[in-house]
Structure 1
Amino acid sequence: MCGKVGLWLCLVVSVLGADYQVTIYPSYLSQGGRTHFEVDRWDGHNGLDSEHFIDKAKSIATESGRWLNRDLNGHTFQNTPQDPHHHGYPDPNHFKEPTFVQNICAKYKQNLQGYGNNSDIVMEIKGKSIRLYWPNWMNTSQHGGKFPNNLDAGAEFIVLLLKSIKQCTHGIIPKYFEVINEPDAAWKYIKWDIVIDFHKIVAQKLKSQFPGIQVGGPTKNGAISGSDKSDFRVWEFSRQFLDMSLDHLDFFSFHPYNFFIVEGNNYRFEGINEARLAGFIDLVESYANQKKGRSVPLILSEYGLSQVRGIDVNKPNPFIDWAYINQHNSHMFTYLNYRNVIDRAIGFILSYGTTLGEASLHYSLFHRDGSLANAAKAYKFWHHLSYQDQFLRIESPFDNKERKISPLAMGNSNNGDVLVLLHNYDRSQARIKLNFDHHWFTPSSGVSHCHYLNSHRQPVLEEWKSMHVSNGYVTVPADGSCIFVFHAKHNFRNVHTIKETTYYGNKMVMRIQKDCAICIFSCASCTYAATANVNVHSLGNVQYARLRIGVSLPGKSGGNPTPKTVLINNHHVTAFYQLFAPGRGHEDTRWEIYEYQIPANFLSSNSNEVKVEFNQSGGYVSTIALIIGN
């Protein structure tokens, strides 16, 4: 076996004959104080459910996670009369009228009864529309007829709506409230500073009326994937919002989506998962830590697959169905690795939708008759995970390559089972060596639970199939996801827990430029670099450390974003892996995320200087984060 120093080197070397490997440790892994698989944070789908779909949704371990369009449906806001005693404001008596109250929340009450009063629903309003939305007595002249001039009056609609819901349910309202859904889509009519001001006003009003409600935004859409465009000018919109929200709101929400592009027999995904998602989360959290010295909770109230290009979405097509399931699962693997800051994630899959005709059925859980549609496999894949399953420390090899396998591991203290979850980003089948550190467990058999695309381009969920394990090898299909369960009967009750903490650098969005200390006298061998300091209050007993670095270069090719040299406290570090970037070569920029392995003796209490050097100038180091496990 590798010694203490040798172990660090041992993990870098690939096992011969394996496409990949992961190392699993007999230690629970706590992120943000969370070790358990908390089902209610991950099992939500969008939209309230009709009564006859509720039991069917529960049977596949999903529930309604987000209440959509209550302001838009039935022209609720548009038909509101003006208060005869307060010009320009909605009439509060209209929102108290018994028939109105019952119509407002009838479906919400059904969902509370079906899923339980403790269901943590996120509620949103559209807030704007390409059609007439606000009542015609309201002055919307400053915003092209799409938004009220008087923001306080607009916010009053929301307060009265929540009061109606509380009246209807005898005291229950949604726990989370998003002020406007994807306001950036209305940029032609509503300036961003108006959006920010409206969020602040709504939050102040709701918190004064409904103690305990959590208010957030801005539910930014898929454009966040390009936050590094134009010298990070797109990121500036999120930064400006955070300047307000870190003081006045409870969470930051956004919608991470990928695109599905089909060209003949070839296909690819583009968008935010995996590298750009990690890059954006680190931007948000780094900024929050710089401004407030703390992280900000994230709610991903929609996610998954957005646009489909190259196939007619208005025709039944199981290939499109598979793409929705694949993106739901691949995003989930990323979210579970950021569970310290992601409070909850709600897939954009509906129980049943007809808004866009056949196109809606690709992301519907059920057919009209209640039978399961293909999209149900997105939740059936996670069906049997429970709160009894606790995350274990698992590590990818630092082999200086792009990581094609996203790994998770769990242990069940009740029955001693070991669960290994693997998502394969590669287009070919992956053979993976499971290394159980110091042979704490040696599997010989187990069961596999895999979702993949078959040769007929149809989604397949192969459930709980018995398998033999030889020398620790398992197989994950191309573009597939698998859960492997081993009945290890391991005693997890006495294992120790590793607490993982992320520390961010004191600078972000750092331009890569000449290192003046080297170039003052001669630039013949000039170095281009970015430098930041990461403050660690107390090192403690370090079990492992990683350095996560985001690098963005302009252009589709973007030169070579891989750092020439990375130093921490003047120690060179060389072993890394690179997060998966599906749209590489097709995006306007190259935004890459690298995770370097850091020996514990390279670290210092308090300030740790990180210097990232390149062969060329141009581009940015977006963030620097130091992840330490104690």
Structure 2
Amino acid sequence: MPRLPRLLASVAALLIAPASALAAPPTNVEVFPNVRHEVGGVSELDRSVFFAAHTTPVSPDWNGEEDKLDYFAKKLRGHFGRDTGQISGTLNRAKQDPKRPGYADPKHIEALAKQDATSYRKMSKTRQRYLSGSDMIIGAQLHPFWPGDKATRHTNWKLSTTDTADEPFGTATGEFMGLYFRNFHKPKGHRPPPAWIEVVNEPLYELSSHGDVDPDQVFHFHNVVADQIRKYYPGVPVGGYTMAFDLFDHDDFGRWDKRFKSFIDITGDNMDFYSVHFYDFPGISRGKVRLRRGSNLEASFDLIDHYSTLKLGQPKPYLISEYGSQVHDWYHQPWSPYRDWLCVKAFNTMVMQFMERPDLVLKALAFTPPKAEWGRNSETVPYYWRLLRRANEGDGNTANDQEGPWVFSEQIKFWELWSDVRGTKVLIHSDQPDVQTQAYLSSRNLFVALNNLSDDDTQRVRLNLKHAAPPESVSLKLLYLKGETPQLDEESLDAIPDRVVLPPNATAILHIRLPERVEPEHTASESKTFADVYLQPIQGKKAITFNIDGVELGEQGTATLRLGIGRDHGNELTPTRIKVNGKSVRVPKQFRGDDTQADRKRFFGLLEVPVPYSVLQENNKVQLAFPETNGHVSSAALRVVTHSAPLE
């Protein structure tokens, strides 16, 4: 069957690409359906991990919207993930123990649990089934769970601030949470047990960034609360510290030392996972762009993983209980499809980075609650992150914005785009860092995902499908910005197109239907090994040495040296030279996504350096140098993908 060049024309009709972009060399993407790609031993795509929304199926937001709930869960294969409202509402209603000031009354907690069970049993069986089939996160909000801070809303008392050897600070909080889970989350007739428990939501943002509480006090609080939860409700993983907006490289990594590093030092093995939130800032302070996605997110992950390996012996899994975009420059405005687009493009980019580490990501929740009327700013300004909106919003008449039926916002397009993707992760490679790739195989169905990290440039992708017969059919979904509105196009094709055109920030998913079932016959096994030291200061022209030992190798494969780099603007962002086991390797200049991070206070990103597989040994010596003194190399690791057979 002839290959089709017509997709370029069809997309060009939708978008006038810059001439410079169309003149640029195409990106080459190779897909190997016959090679299973295992990362830390994991190769199967778990949709409940990567395609979940920040909501629960029993949320009141879905009342009267069951048709939309079914569309999300059944048609789009969307999942659910987090509830911080139920436990917080319960504490706000709980009575104080008359014999123990600052503690919730255990008998009243039991009574509230019985009332909740009665209400829960009255819910539709469908919604109960959705909840029972969900791996849910339950976490506490800062208020009123932080001891002595704010009184409970309905019963007007505060949690105990006592801090002694027998009753350390946070004991009352932990006891309440443990009793809540023991009474509210039972196998029969009650809400199902959670999969994970977060100690408290984003505590440092208010207590430390905008308050005077020492972060170490918050981290010791985590230990106490976790111990109390396990005392009353053992067996469910507990973690924290539910990080919000922490920028590790601030103050030349002083922020890292005082916060996440200190959290690891204090909580150590007492946390079962790290709970983190990641957000892009696509517009802040009147037009400044500060993005997490791309190399900054990779550098953040590697810094945490590297130090965890040195301190604890191995990386700890992640619960990404919120991710998306903060939309500061669009605050105090009515709903707009463009503001939704800012969230959707962050969802697509970040989820593909999370999918690179399926062995460590427990769950990742796109932050988009359903109606979120609890967060409404005014009659004409709703909460900024919503999966549902009023049909009248955006019609130009803000007077009727709270009228009309509820409909999906543009953010539903994230799930509509990814709805069919499933199967076994197979090997795929892009020669352009700004083109992200993922590929999955399910019987005869091959799904290829491509994302353009660039905010400015159009990417032309030339797809090369290896070891597969010509497909029976090909369909394409393309999500991009058309004017001010996210546009999701779907097209049926006769063959794999010669070129897939990706406008800026666009995501494409090809569903390639093969003529017969394919079983991967080879394996690509990926591992990551960190150096013996981390966070090394950069001194001009002086070599920094990393020893990366214990690398497992096979006969053939690929390797990448991953270097986290944090420097002030005006300095060289890449080393002038790199040697691996005495052999010089080429130093690339391009980072994933934003290469300069000009609107951040300084640059912090991860450089990915290809290393010939033949150069590697079990124990490796890496040496590198920069021309001037400034900043740090925050992490160093070798990512090795060993192939069970040569790639042809």
Identify the TM-score tier after normalising by the shorter chain: 0.7 to 0.9
Bigger mean CA deviation after superposition, 278-287 or 389-398: 389-398
Task: Answer yes or no: is the 8 Å Cα contact 2:117–2:191 preserved in 1.
Answer: no
* CA distance 1:370–1:108, change in 2 (3 Å): farther
Q: Which amino acid aligns with 1:317?
A: S
In structure 2, the partner of 1:132 is 150
* Separation in structure 2 between the aligned mates of residue 359 and residue 104 of structure 1, nearest angstrom: 36
What's the CA shift string for 1:189-212, capped at 9, x where partnerless?
Answer: 533122112211222222233332
For 2:386, which of 348, 352, 364 is the aligned residue?
A: 364
For 2:438, which of 408, 414, 438 is the aligned residue?
A: 408
Q: Which amino acid aligns with 1:227?
A: F
Q: Which residues of 2 match residues 317-396 of structure 1 at below 5 A?
A: 317-354=336-373, 355-357=375-377, 359-360=381-382, 362-367=384-389, 369-386=405-422, 389-396=423-430
For 1:295, which of 289, 309, 315 is the aligned residue?
A: 315
In structure 2, the partner of 1:9 is none
* Separation in structure 2 between the aligned mates of residue 217 and residue 629 of structure 1, nearest angstrom: 31
* Separation in structure 1 between the aligned mates of residue 508 and residue 80 of structure 2, nearest angstrom: 25
Provide the aligned C-alpha RMSD in A.
Answer: 3.0
* Separation in structure 1 between the aligned mates of residue 503 and residue 249 of structure 2, nearest angstrom: 33
What's the CA shift string for 1:61-89, capped at 9, x where partnerless?
Answer: 3232100233433xx32443332333432
* CA distance 1:99–1:257, change in 2 (3 Å): closer
Q: Which residues of 2 match residues 162-241 of structure 1 at below 5 A?
A: 162-166=181-185, 169-170=189-190, 172-185=192-205, 186-187=207-208, 188=211, 190-223=213-246, 226-236=247-257, 237-241=259-263
Q: Which amino acid aligns with 2:138?
A: M
For 2:297, which of 261, 277, 285 is the aligned residue?
A: 277
* CA distance 1:490–1:33, change in 2 (3 Å): farther
Following TM superposition, by how much is the alpha carbon of 1:410 offset from its aligned partner in structure 2, in angstroms? 2.1
SS in 2 for 1:201: helix
* Separation in structure 1 between the aligned mates of residue 266 and residue 491 of structure 2, nearest angstrom: 48
Following TM superposition, by how much is the alpha carbon of 1:575 offset from its aligned partner in structure 2, in angstroms? 5.1
For 1:121, which of 104, 114, 136 is the aligned residue?
A: 136
Task: Answer yes or no: is the 8 Å Cα contact 2:334–2:382 preserved in 1.
Answer: no
SS in 2 for 1:163: helix
Task: Answer yes or no: is the 8 Å Cα contact 1:417–1:485 preserved in 2.
Answer: yes
Task: Answer yes or no: is the 8 Å Cα contact 1:55–1:114 preserved in 2.
Answer: no
Task: Answer yes or no: is the 8 Å Cα contact 2:240–2:274 preserved in 1.
Answer: yes
Task: Answer yes or no: is the 8 Å Cα contact 2:54–2:367 preserved in 1.
Answer: yes
In structure 1, the partner of 2:474 is 446
* Separation in structure 2 between the aligned mates of residue 611 and residue 195 of structure 1, nearest angstrom: 38
Does residue 600 (structure 1) correspond to residue 613 (structure 2)? The answer is: yes
Q: Which amino acid aligns with 1:128?
A: H
What's the CA shift string for 1:139-191, capped at 9, x where partnerless?
Answer: 66799xxxx98421121111122123125844732110000100012221533
* Separation in structure 1 between the aligned mates of residue 407 and residue 339 of structure 2, nearest angstrom: 19
In structure 2, the partner of 1:522 is none
Does residue 28 (structure 1) correspond to residue 36 (structure 2)? The answer is: yes
Does residue 586 (structure 1) correspond to residue 599 (structure 2)? The answer is: yes
For 1:250, which of 246, 249, 272 is the aligned residue?
A: 272
What's the CA shift string for 1:317-352, capped at 9, x where partnerless?
Answer: 211121111111111111111223222100101122
For 1:488, which of 514, 519, 525 is the aligned residue?
A: 514
Task: Answer yes or no: is the 8 Å Cα contact 1:558–1:589 preserved in 2.
Answer: no
In structure 2, the partner of 1:428 is 457
* Separation in structure 2 between the aligned mates of residue 317 and residue 582 of structure 1, nearest angstrom: 29
SS in 2 for 1:259: strand
* Separation in structure 1 between the aligned mates of residue 595 and residue 383 of structure 2, nearest angstrom: 26
Task: Answer yes or no: is the 8 Å Cα contact 1:268–1:582 preserved in 2.
Answer: no
Bigger mean CA deviation after superposition, 502-511 or 460-469: 460-469
* Separation in structure 2 between the aligned mates of residue 314 and residue 217 of structure 1, nearest angstrom: 33
* CA distance 1:490–1:56, change in 2 (3 Å): closer
In structure 1, the partner of 2:576 is 564
Q: Which amino acid aligns with 2:459?
A: A
* CA distance 1:621–1:197, change in 2 (3 Å): same
* Separation in structure 2 between the aligned mates of residue 275 and residue 359 of structure 1, nearest angstrom: 34
* Separation in structure 1 between the aligned mates of residue 520 and residue 308 of structure 2, nearest angstrom: 36
In structure 1, the partner of 2:77 is 61
Task: Answer yes or no: is the 8 Å Cα contact 1:61–1:380 preserved in 2.
Answer: no
In structure 2, the partner of 1:545 is 559
Task: Answer yes or no: is the 8 Å Cα contact 1:44–1:62 preserved in 2.
Answer: yes
Q: Which amino acid aligns with 1:191?
A: D
* CA distance 1:104–1:286, change in 2 (3 Å): farther
Following TM superposition, by how much is the alpha carbon of 1:479 offset from its aligned partner in structure 2, in angstroms? 1.8
SS in 1 for 2:629: coil
Q: Which residues of 2 match residues 513-528 of structure 1 at below 5 A?
A: 513=539, 527-528=541-542
* CA distance 1:417–1:436, change in 2 (3 Å): closer
Following TM superposition, by how much is the alpha carbon of 1:37 offset from its aligned partner in structure 2, in angstroms? 1.5
In structure 2, the partner of 1:42 is 50
* Separation in structure 1 between the aligned mates of residue 106 and residue 573 of structure 2, nearest angstrom: 57
Task: Answer yes or no: is the 8 Å Cα contact 1:46–1:349 preserved in 2.
Answer: yes
* Separation in structure 1 between the aligned mates of residue 305 and residue 503 of structure 2, nearest angstrom: 34
Following TM superposition, by how much is the alpha carbon of 1:480 offset from its aligned partner in structure 2, in angstroms? 0.7
* Separation in structure 2 between the aligned mates of residue 215 and residue 36 of structure 1, nearest angstrom: 25
In structure 2, the partner of 1:4 is none
SS in 2 for 1:303: strand
What's the CA shift string for 1:86-145, capped at 9, x where partnerless?
Answer: 3432210010115764179749976861415131000111133698344654466799xx
Q: Where does structure 1 lack aligned partners over 5 or more consecutive residues?
A: 1-14, 515-526
Q: Where does structure 2 lack aligned partners over 5 or more consecutive residues?
A: 1-21, 391-404, 643-648
* Separation in structure 2 between the aligned mates of residue 478 and residue 558 of structure 1, nearest angstrom: 27
Task: Answer yes or no: is the 8 Å Cα contact 2:178–2:230 preserved in 1.
Answer: no
What's the CA shift string for 1:237-283, capped at 9, x where partnerless?
Answer: 1011112333111100110001122899xx77422111111111101
Bigger mean CA deviation after superposition, 282-291 or 91-100: 91-100
Task: Answer yes or no: is the 8 Å Cα contact 1:335–1:342 preserved in 2.
Answer: yes
For 1:457, which of 484, 487, 510 is the aligned residue?
A: 484
* CA distance 1:205–1:158, change in 2 (3 Å): same
Q: Percent of aligned pairs with the same residue?
A: 22
* Separation in structure 2 between the aligned mates of residue 326 and residue 626 of structure 1, nearest angstrom: 29
* CA distance 1:108–1:461, change in 2 (3 Å): farther
Give the total of aligned pairs.
581
Q: Which amino acid aligns with 1:307?
A: V
Does residue 505 (structure 1) correspond to residue 535 (structure 2)? The answer is: no
* CA distance 1:181–1:109, change in 2 (3 Å): farther
Task: Answer yes or no: is the 8 Å Cα contact 1:95–1:101 preserved in 2.
Answer: no
Q: Which amino acid aligns with 2:427?
A: R
SS in 2 for 1:97: helix
* CA distance 1:190–1:107, change in 2 (3 Å): farther
* CA distance 1:452–1:104, change in 2 (3 Å): farther
* CA distance 1:81–1:67, change in 2 (3 Å): same
Task: Answer yes or no: is the 8 Å Cα contact 2:469–2:515 preserved in 1.
Answer: no
* CA distance 1:410–1:497, change in 2 (3 Å): same
Q: Which residues of 2 match residues 49-128 of structure 1 at below 5 A?
A: 49=59, 50-51=62-63, 52-53=65-66, 54-58=69-73, 59-73=75-89, 76-97=90-111, 101-102=115-116, 106=120, 113-128=128-143
SS in 1 for 2:268: helix
Following TM superposition, by how much is the alpha carbon of 1:394 offset from its aligned partner in structure 2, in angstroms? 1.8
In structure 1, the partner of 2:401 is none
* Separation in structure 2 between the aligned mates of residue 359 and residue 45 of structure 1, nearest angstrom: 22
Q: TM-score when scaled to structure 1?
A: 0.85
